[in-house]
């Protein structure tokens, strides 16, 4: 079975690492989407992304 790995960067030079650790936070840097706490599906994320970043390639949300 293939394993999925994610790389999380806590800001440039890791300056947010303590805040991320303390708050159990992972950020994706798509500020225009707003908070995702209420999002419950991949489709909702895709819709929000496409509205906020309409000039980007639609497949980018899953390949970023």
* 15, part of any domain: no
In a domain, 7, yes or no: no
Is the backbone of residue 56 left (phi > 0), alpha (psi -120 to 50) or beta? beta
DSSP string, the chain: -PPP------SGGGTTHHHHHHHT------GGG---TT--SHHHHHHHHHHHTTTS-TTHHHH-
The model's confidence at residue 64, banded by pLDDT at 50, 70 and 90, is very low
Q: Is the residue at 12 inside a domain?
A: no
Tens-digit pLDDT profile for residues 15-59? 999 998 999 988 877 888 888 889 999 899 888 888 888 876 655
Count of structural domains, the chain: 1
The answer to whether residue 64 sits within a structural domain is yes
Confidence of residue 61 (pLDDT cuts 50, 70, 90): low
Q: Is the pTM of this model over 0.75?
A: no
pLDDT reported for residue 60: 57
Q: Assess if residue 47 is contained within a domain.
A: yes
Residue 20 within any structural domain of the chain: no
Domain that holds residue 63: 33-64
Q: Would residue 18 count as lying in a domain?
A: no
């Amino acid at each position: 079975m293939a394993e999925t790995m994610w790389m999380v960067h806590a800001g440039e030079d890791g300056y947010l690492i303590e805040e991320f650790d303390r708050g159990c936070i992972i950020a994706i840097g798509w500020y225009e989407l707003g908070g995702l706490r209420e999002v419950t599906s991949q489709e909702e994320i895709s819709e929000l992304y496409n509205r906020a970043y309409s000039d980007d390639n639609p497949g980018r949300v899953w390949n970023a």
